[in-house]
Amino acid sequence: MAGSATEIRVVERSAVYPLPRTVAATSLPLTFLDIPWLPFSPGQTLFFFNIPTSTSHFMQAILPNLKHSLSLTLHHFFPLSGRLATPPHPAVPRLEYGADDSIFLTIAEAVSGDFKNLGGYHPRMAQDFHKLMPLLQSSSKFGSKHESLLAIQIIVFPHHGICIGFTLRHVVADGRTFNNFLKTWAAASSSPLTKNGESLGLNQLLMASHDRSLIKDPNGLEEILLKEWRSIQIPQKASLSKFHPDMTRATFVVGPNEMEKIKKWILTRSEHLFESTQLLLSPYVITCSFVWVCWMKTHWSNSTENHPKDSTHYFGFIAGGITRLNYSVPSTYSGNCVGFGRSEARRDNLMGENGVLHAAKAIGNTIKSLNSDFLGGAENWISEWEEMRDSELHVMVTGSPKMDLYGLDFGWGRPIKIEEVSIDETRSISLCESREVSGGVEIGVCLPKPKLELFWTLFNQVYKIRNE
């Protein structure tokens, strides 16, 4: 792992307000689709851009436009500037925005660190990425806790590039909403301004809708999930385990060719194993199935822990709700409209020679259930995911290959690399579309170095599927 340790020097801290300052103070209730995110730690994402600029040039020529376009964008996505208010029981948490609320923006310069190394796919030390992430602010008053929802940090690597880090509480926005925010900011940044200081790019985009009445709750899930959340007793769960100094992260890519070979391999064996059962073998299912088995073999091939071989293991993922609810929700809705999927399979099946088949059947069946009854079992979302996060037996994936995050362009070209830093703390795997391979999927993994090396070996072997 080449490259020097990353150290940064803060150049500027500032508050960026929604402009024009016409957004009234607002309180938004949490819907039952927001509430399951209350126990989750913030998401942390880094975007690396190849823009060889000096720090002084960035501050003088680039930053003013970024700030102005961010202000214009926050006018339409004002809840991101607000706070999560958690008052004492029996009052319920809510999103609040006041006239003095803003985004906390930090500008820093990298005084050491290898930009090219950090933006690569090869193994790199995870701790170097943590220093690039902004921190959220919190305060307490009269027993009510207030937490900021979004913080942004831009680090200049002089004459090499910049990276933009986002720390986000997902209780305010799902991946689709946050992607809409990013694309809107990028459009405002890269478009010329009108005489009134508006962005022509913004005029071409559909603005966000903050109408919480769009989310229907005929089954009373809000109260059920609030009760589950309160039973946890803490609003935000701490890290599952201590962060190991040798934690190492790398990115793997599965392309359409590999997906097709895995699919053919599954189909040649599925009829014998599952008879006439029809498997759902979408690119997402194929990728997740293969990754799940690689993860299982990485953790359990040489394990000495005393768990029965027929122990149940879970694979958790996020499922979009915009097209799965039985009523219409506009794509411009700003908030959460996702559900939670949890697939299960026995360890001995996952670890066997047909492990990918068992994984594919489990994940595919879960997606079929979500397609037919998106809210089936929704009352257990919090408790089920708490069970997964509290056990080494299970794994979760974050992100989606459908977001087109590599299409983000502030006017200096699309990102050269995207890193989901928060998987270091949550023992998750990140997914996004591939930058270089059309139809491919990038898979972010963070593990102690010996385990990452084993995962790398297993992944590249593809269990000899490519050669069969």
- From 241-255, 259-273, 325-339, the region with the lowest mean pLDDT: 241-255
Cα 24 to chain centroid, rounded: 30
Residue 244 CA, chain-centre distance (Å), reads: 22
Query: Which band of pLDDT confidence, cut at 50, 70 and 90, is reported for residue 237?
Result: very low
Cβ neighbors of 122 (< 8 A, separation 6 or more) are: 1, 250
Confidence check: pLDDT of 103 > 60: yes
Q: Which residue has the tokens 């809708």?
A: 209
Task: Map tokens 């940044």 to a residue.
Answer: 189
- Joined together, the tokens standing for residue 48 give 């690396």
Q: Is the pLDDT of residue 96 over 80?
A: yes
Between the two ends of the chain, the Cα-to-Cα distance in Å is 33
What value, to the nearest 5°, has the Cα angle with vertex 341 and ends 337 and 346?
175
Tokens 């999103």, located at residue? 95
| pLDDT tens, position by position, 283-314 | 999 999 999 999 999 988 876 566 677 889 99
Query: Dihedral sign, CA of 7, 417, 165, 18?
Result: positive
Crossing angle of helices 355-372/283-300, nearest 10°? 130
Catalytic residue among 57, 68, 146, 409: 409
Torsion of CA 55, 61, 67, 73, to 10 degrees: -130
444: part of which helix (H) or strand (E)?
strand 441-448
Q: Which domains does the chain have, with CATH numbers?
A: 7-232 (3.30.559.10), 247-405+412-467 (3.30.559.10)
> What is the DSSP code string of 294-309?
HHHHHHHTT--S---T
Determine contact, residues 48/131, Cβ cutoff 8 Å: no
More confident position, 464 or 220: 220
pTM: 0.93
CA distance 36 to 399: 16
394 annotated active-site? no
Res 199 pLDDT > 90: no
Distance CA 275, CA 264 (A): 16
d(CA 284, CA 297): 20
pLDDT tens-digit series, residues 147-173: 999 999 999 999 999 999 999 999 999
* Sign of the CA dihedral running 28, 31, 37, 38: positive
What whole-number distance in Å separates Cα of residue 369 and Cα of residue 363?
Answer: 10
Q: Is 100 a catalytic residue?
A: no
Q: Which of 76, 160, 170, 394 is catalytic?
A: 170
The length of the chain, given as a count of residues: 468
Q: Would you say residue 236 has pLDDT above 70? A: no
Answer whether residue 201 shows pLDDT above 70.
Answer: no
Q: From 395, 422, 430, 385, select the one nearest 38 (Cα to Cα).
A: 385
pLDDT of residue 463: 44
Quickly tell me which residue has 């958790």 as its tokens. 316
